[in-house]
Amino acid sequence: MRKPLFTGCGTALVTPFRDGAVDLDAFRALVRRQLDARADALIVCATTGEAPTLRPDERAALISACVGEAARRVPVIAGTGSNDTAHAIALSREAEELGADGVLVVTPYYNKATQAGLIAHYTAIADAVHLPVILYNVPSRTGVSCTAETYAALARHPNINGVKEASGNFALIQDTRNRCDGDFYLWSGNDEDTTALMALGGAGVISTAANLIPGDMRELARLCMSGSLHKAGVLQLRMTDLLRALFCEVNPIPIKTAMARLGLCSGELRLPLCAMQPENRERLYAAMDAYGVKA
């Protein structure tokens, strides 16, 4: 039986920029902060890390820096998705060569795919590497969603470890749990869904909010894994206003704005992402203050 690549809370790391360039010193400091907070996994070059705007040399530098800082203490998972299967394979192979412990592969976007195409896409990627592959289902961004039947077909591949589920579709999540063997794992891709998905047997969360509140997100996952669902629910509800403020504009605009307020990074974004609207920024700051987020 396959083991999950990780259980608990994996942090989807932001990519700090300064004057248009990747700020590797700030990035390494963020990785160390996560290690100090006992993150269960680190995810680099994914959505929260603004992967679509990263040049190949920047991707390689970020993955290498993350692997070096982690020093095998926790799994490092690299985002390697593309709507071009050959490109996704190349990115996945590069991540493996750079020392990543797994890859996170989003469903093809824009050109999309049929369910048969999704199976062929993911099978080709999983055949090309020796690393565990985590699928990433986020139809709000890609315009395509996997079905439970597709998950069941892909679960038979020995290199496919599970899925980061960010559809918010709990009927799909339940059907997937019923159709797939116990070693096809589900991670919440939405911070707000963490407790509910883990109550259905999820392995954890791949979290944006953990950039800001790593200890609390890890505690939330720990409570779920220990069966303390009432306590987890209380903590999840306490987070509601903060989490909604962190996603009131396109991710990662709010999380980088919040981190800049704490002096953790510059908050700089790459177009087409732009500065947060003033009214939403004030909402975010108010939610941070009410929650007690401090530098």
Q: Kindly state whether residue 170 falls inside one of the protein's structural domains.
A: yes
pLDDT single digits (tens) 220-279 = 999 999 999 999 999 999 999 999 999 999 999 999 999 999 999 999 999 999 999 999
- In angstroms, the Cα distances linking 257 to 5, 10, 50, 230, 278 are 30, 21, 14, 32, 11
Can you give the pLDDT at residue 265? 95
Q: Kindly state whether residue 51 falls inside one of the protein's structural domains.
A: yes
Catalytic, 136? Answer yes
CATH number at residue 26: 3.20.20.70
Owner of token pair 């509910």: 196
Q: Kindly state whether residue 207 falls inside one of the protein's structural domains.
A: yes
Catalytic, 256? Answer no
pLDDT single digits (tens) 55-86 = 999 999 999 999 999 999 999 999 999 999 99
Confidence band, pLDDT 50/70/90 cuts, at residue 143:
very high
Q: Kindly state whether residue 157 falls inside one of the protein's structural domains.
A: yes
Can you give the pLDDT at residue 1? 80
Can you give the pLDDT at residue 164? 98
Task: Judge whether residue 219 has pLDDT over 70.
Answer: yes
| Distance between CA atoms of residues 18 and 65, nearest Å | 17
98-115 mean pLDDT: 97
- The mean of the pLDDT values for the chain is 97
Q: Kindly state whether residue 78 falls inside one of the protein's structural domains.
A: yes
| Distance between CA atoms of residues 42 and 63, nearest Å | 10
Q: Kindly state whether residue 30 falls inside one of the protein's structural domains.
A: yes
Confidence band, pLDDT 50/70/90 cuts, at residue 210:
very high
Can you give the pLDDT at residue 294? 79
Can you give the pLDDT at residue 270? 97
| Distance between CA atoms of residues 118 and 35, nearest Å | 34
Which residue in 164, 185, 256, 291 is the catalytic one? 164
Q: How many domains does the chain have?
A: 1
Which domain does 53 fall in, by range? Answer: 8-225
- At 172, the amino acid letter reads L
Which residue in 122, 136, 151, 185 is the catalytic one? 136
Task: Judge whether residue 207 has pLDDT over 70.
Answer: yes
Q: Kindly state whether residue 239 falls inside one of the protein's structural domains.
A: no
Q: Kindly state whether residue 121 falls inside one of the protein's structural domains.
A: yes
Question: Is residue 263 within 8 Å of 295, Cβ to Cβ?
Answer: yes
Can you give the pLDDT at residue 295? 65
